[in-house]
A and B are shown apart, each in its own frame.
Chain A
Amino acid sequence: MNIDFSADELAFQQEVSTFLAEEFPEEIRNKTANSIELGKDDYVNWQKILAKKGWAATNWPVEYGGTGWTPTQKYIFGNECAKAGAPEVMAFGLKMVAPVIYIYGNEEQKQRFLPDILASNVWWCQGYSEPNAGSDLASLKTTAVREGDEYVVNGTKTWTTLGQHADWIFCLVRTGAADVKNQNAISFLLIDMKTPGINVSPIYLLDGSPEVNEVHFDNVRVPAENLIGEEGKGWTYAKVLLTHERTNIAGVTDSKNRLKDLKEKAATTSDGMPGSHSMLSDNPAWQQKVAELEIELLALEYTELKTLAAVSTGKAPGPESSILKIKGTEIQQTIDILNVEMAGYYGLPFVRDQFMDGFDGVPIGPDQAAASAPIYFNNRKATIYGGSNEIQTNIICKAVLGL
């Protein structure tokens, strides 16, 4: 047992770092450094660069174009990307629908969808939640009725992240009769967003961004060949996908990066105590909070490494991945609020333009302080999505503790 990198791993680290220095676009680097929202083009461009290098699909099997990296290589890659300010790839295609396609899809579906996902030619979005099916996802009501070689889909999906950009959506739909037990009536269907009858309407979040959408299906006719696997097995497939989603949303490398940034800024921000003239980083109350946060993140990093190591020996990420989701999002939200605390009065200005691509005015407040509160507000979603943290807790109770 050791945490040293081998000579090969050190060489790999050097290779990644050189690649990032040469290939990661300056334009995107500047945006992330200045809290400017990334647009669709930024994500597509960056993924295409990764794909060209063969590094887009770190979680896929090699036969479909994955990297075949060891957990340590993935860890190194993630760390180097975070250091360089490179965003994580959009998860919907690469990390969410792709595993379902290559595990449960047929040969034709694999050949039809996987290459375009890898090359970032197609933008995917997720059709799971519905207005009346949140944490109780299995109660979803969108129907897909078989008519000849087609399914006719009716219903509404919601919280569809960046659905406004999407070319395709992967959906959980109800194919069984009304009396079939909820989970055995659900199927996994891929739908082209250009199909007539689909209407996307934005939902504005607390930070003012139209990050998510409602997607309405009105007699949308979908070829039956777009069904993944068998009818009625969609819930099983979705659970596999959710386990992958959960490990992805721990966000350890991103949090490490944000914490480093937080500590650096606190060293140049006055603590505002009368007569102290000292920096926030010297304030004992602040120090204690930051130290506890950093320690929790360190523990989570090793929990994630243990999980990755188990996955590399052939095990699917188990219910332990719920820990990554719960702790990862708690840590993200703690960093969010510490940034707001540090901003002080400059947490108040709400100047959305300042964080949009193309802003050429003078930003209000220091060091993107004005971004802190909108990020905090928006990211309250983190403990709710991907199966709320209370649902994750239920999973641990049932699957780990046998309660």
Chain B
Amino acid sequence: MDFSYSEEQQMLQDSVSKFISTEYDWDSRQAIAKSETGFSADHWQLFAELGWLTVPFKEDDGGFGGSAVDLIVTMEEFGKGLLVEPFLANTILAGTLIAEAGSSEQKTELLTPLMEGNVQLAFAYAEPQSRYELANIQCSAVINGDEIVLNGHKAVVLNGAAAEKILVSVRTSGDACDREGVSLLWVDANSAGIRRESYASVDGQRAADIWFDNVTLPTSNLLGDVGEAIDVIEMTIDRAALAICAEAVGAMQMSLFKTVEYSKIRKQFNTTLSTFQALQHRMANMFIEVEQAKSILLMAAMEMDRLDGKAPKALSAAKSRIGKAARLVGEESIQIHGGIGVTDELDVGHYFKRLTAIQFSFGSTDYHTARFAAS
């Protein structure tokens, strides 16, 4: 049992942390979030040069190592800066699927350019009716010889607007919620029959709803075996859930820090807010929530790296607990700031928004509590 980072992990953390504190101040972040694409192509290139886009991948695939601990080291620092660059959608969602299910040709075609920062990817899995049930898929892919015809509607696809290639979970056989018959394919985003409606999400990121109308593609675009993709999809979504848990831990630390600092400056009744016990205890409670969240994040990451089949239960414990902490810390930060906390100008409200989005992504708090209880 060892709670320390390796030398490589320590260097990774230092490198991301330095970028966030020197290159990603609040005004720069807001300018990027409000730009046309919603992220900085220059930053993306820098991430590639620094090797960050290889973090989720094994050394065999040309990656940094791909451990869950590597992932949380990176995501926690991103969370502190409320990073809007589509790291999650590209590397953790699309990238993990390619690394786990893709052939060596597909890895060369998709994973290599991803790690080099030369392609934007997305993973379209949710549907309007599916909520968090990953096998609830109506999007259909009919295979005819060496051609596939794709039809359906995918909901709230992260990085869906910028993506040049889209991975899609589809039904190739079976009924609406069967685990059998789920397949995975990728499609060029400019293919005929694809319509995208893109929008900003509440947390300043970008997403899109995507419609496929008789889109044709070759069967060589299938990843993994036909009809047997559900396991790899579930594993990928759990890794993404772990990643945003780490992001939440970073965001909560900053939100707490900013709230405590503000309470020491803001005066009412001729004294600073920090002197009122009613507020002091609320901030102490936020601190406890953050510490408990950090602890359970480490637990889940280490369980995930053990590969002994207990990862889903451990991940659910973390997502449930961190979701609860994220709600409390986000809401209390606003309350303690007072009126200024609900303005768009101040950063604290934007931490609150991201913390809220995290609670409802990749399984809500209640979803994961129930999954924990059932497993």
Please give the residue numbers on chain A whose beta carbons come within 8 Å of chain B beta carbons, in ascending order.
1-5, 9, 71-72, 75, 287-288, 290-292, 294-296, 298-303, 305-306, 309, 320, 323, 326-327, 390, 393-394, 396-397, 400-403
Contact = CB atoms under 8 A, between A and B. Distances in A.
B282 to A, nearest CB: 10
B369 A288 contact: yes
Contacts of B264: 402-403
A369 B305 CA distance: 41
B299 A298 contact: yes
Contact of A320 (B4, B291, B372): B291
A231 B291 CA distance: 38
Given A295-B372, A299-B299, A403-B274, A2 B291 contact: no
Contact of A3 (B4, B277, B288, B303): B303
B264 to A, nearest CB: 7
A397 B321 contact: no
A403 B302 contact: no
A85 to B, nearest CB: 24
Chain B at the A interface: mostly helix, strand, loop or mixed? helix
Contacts of A5: 1
Nearest to A9: B1
Nearest to B259: A401
Interface in B286-300: 287-288, 291-296, 298-299
19 contacts: A1-B298, A2-B302, A2-B305, A5-B1, A75-B1, A288-B373, A291-B372, A294-B372, A299-B321, A300-B295, A303-B291, A306-B298, A309-B4, A394-B280, A397-B280, A397-B283, A401-B287, A403-B263, A403-B283
Nearest to B257: A401
Contact of A403 (B3, B280, B293): B280
Nearest to B4: A1
B167 interface: no
Please indicate which of the listed interface residues B260, B296, B303 has the most CB atoms of chain A within 10 Å of its own CB: B296
Interface residues of B, number: 41
B281 A2 contact: no
A21 B260 CA distance: 51
B69 interface: yes
A402 B1 contact: no
A306 B2 CA distance: 10
Contacts of A305: 1, 3, 295
B221 to A, nearest CB: 38
A372 B2 CA distance: 38
Contacts of A72: 1
Interface of B: 1-6, 9, 69, 260, 263-264, 274-275, 277, 280-281, 283-285, 287-288, 291-296, 298-299, 301-303, 305-306, 317, 320-321, 369-370, 372-373
Contacts of B69: 1
B315 to A, nearest CB: 12
Given A287-B373, A302-B299, A306-B298, A400 B1 contact: no
Given A71-B1, A303-B291, A305-B1, 20 more contacts: A1-B5, A1-B69, A2-B302, A72-B1, A75-B1, A287-B370, A294-B317, A295-B320, A298-B296, A298-B299, A299-B317, A300-B292, A301-B299, A302-B296, A306-B294, A309-B3, A396-B284, A396-B288, A400-B287, A401-B284
A288 B284 CA distance: 26
Contacts of B1: 2-5, 9, 71-72, 75, 305
A3 B294 CA distance: 15
Contact of B317 (A75, A287, A295, A390): A295
Among A295, A309, A402, find the residue whose CB has the most chain B CB atoms closer than 10 A.
Answer: A295
A1 B69 CA distance: 7
A1 B302 contact: yes
Contacts of B302: 1-3
A292 B369 contact: yes
Those 3 A-B pairs whose CB atoms lie nearest each other, nearest first: A302-B295, A291-B373, A299-B296
B335 to A, nearest CB: 16
Nearest to B317: A295
Contacts of B298: 1, 302, 306
Contacts of B291: 303, 320, 323
B69, B275, B291, B302: which has the most chain A beta carbons within 10 Å?
B291
Contacts of A390: 281
Contact of B6 (A1, A9, A394, A396): A1
B292 A397 contact: no
Contact of A303 (B281, B284, B292, B320): B292
Contacts of A9: 1
A333 to B, nearest CB: 16
B152 to A, nearest CB: 33
Contacts of B303: 3
A333 B177 CA distance: 42
Contact of B2 (A2, A75, A327, A393): A2
A171 to B, nearest CB: 30
A228 to B, nearest CB: 32
Contacts of B280: 393-394, 397, 401, 403
Contacts of B373: 287-288, 290-291
Contact of B306 (A4, A300, A327, A402): A4
A2 B69 CA distance: 9
